[in-house]
Amino acid sequence: MKKIILIIFLLFSFTAGLVYCDTLSSHFDKANTLFEEKDYIKALDLYLKIYEQGFYSKDLFYNISNTHYRLGNIGQSLRYIEKAYRISPRDSDIRFNRKLLYTNTGQTENVWESIIGFLSINELSIICLVLVSLIFIFLIISKFITKRWLYWVKFGVISLTIIFSVWLYASYLIFYKNPYGVVLPQEINAYSGPSLEQTISFTVPAGQKIVILGKSNGWLDIGVKKDRLRGWIQEQEIGII
């Protein structure tokens, strides 16, 4: 009896999952149709509904970025293309749009970021997982077989594991240790402290990518890497990538 209940529960869950995915897919298709009809506001609304369901898809982010661009929200457009880029850094469409948005906002891509970002953090994680597993598999094999080639295979796998682990850590440091954000309004002031009464240190244009270093009472401590500037900006003016 217990087995029957378990099977029924699993079947029900699977069916519900399929129906849920199908609903989201139809939302996605509908949003695409609205985009084609140039009803960008409704299209964006539908795309964002899918995103709010917890979907983390490169195509979804790419289309959201496109829609924001058509609506003239360059900051939001850059924010979502960055999200798409982090999932799929070698997608030619994503790369093209990201480069164009960078050019439009007067920014240039950091060379190290483009090298380290060639593989996404998930791809690097999978590679490291496979390599670590291989190390232990070959260590087990070497308990039973003692061959010269096995030594070199182990050496190669361990070397690759070290390289990819360092790459993974560098990717984490560059892209995830301190979260990034994008300036959403046209141009905002960065203050010397988390208050409007503080001195305005510098201004940041819309679409400028900034690194978030800290947070305090609705204010974000931000840094502009290329200019080596640091200041405080109100949280609602930043779209976190």
Amino acid at 54: G
Q: Taking each helix axis from N to C terminus, what angle separates 2-36 and 58-70, rounded to the nearest 10 degrees? A: 30
The answer to the question of residue 184 lying near another protein (CB under 8 A) is no
The answer to the question of residue 79 lying near another protein (CB under 8 A) is no
Site for another protein in 24-43 (CB under 8 A): 24-25, 28, 32, 35-36
- Residue 131 to residue 178: CA distance in whole angstroms: 27
92: left (phi over 0), alpha (psi -120 to 50) or beta: alpha
Pair of tokens at residue 30: 């509908």
CB of 63 to another protein, least distance (A): 4
CA neighbor of 86 nearest in space, from 37, 51, 124: 124
Draw the binding track, 105-144, toward another protein (x: CB under 8 A; -: no contact): ----------------xx--xx--x--xx-xxx-xx--x-
The answer to the question of residue 50 lying near another protein (CB under 8 A) is yes
User: Which one of residues 9, 12, 96, 155 is an interface residue with another protein (CB under 8 A)?
Assistant: 96
Burial of 69 (0-12, 13-18, 19+ CB in 10 A): buried
Residue 87 vs 210, nearer CB to another protein: 87
Residue 47 vs 191, nearer CB to another protein: 47
List residues bridging with 223 in a β-sheet: 211, 230
Tell how far CA 14 is from the center of its chain: 28
Residue 104 vs 201, nearer CB to another protein: 104
CA neighbor of 234 nearest in space, from 218, 212, 210, 222: 218
The answer to the question of residue 161 lying near another protein (CB under 8 A) is no
CB of 223 to another protein, least distance (A): 22
Binding site for another protein (CB under 8 A): 21, 24-25, 28, 32, 35-36, 50, 54-60, 62-63, 65-67, 69, 77, 86-87, 93, 96-97, 100-101, 103, 121-122, 125-126, 129, 132-133, 135-137, 139-140, 143
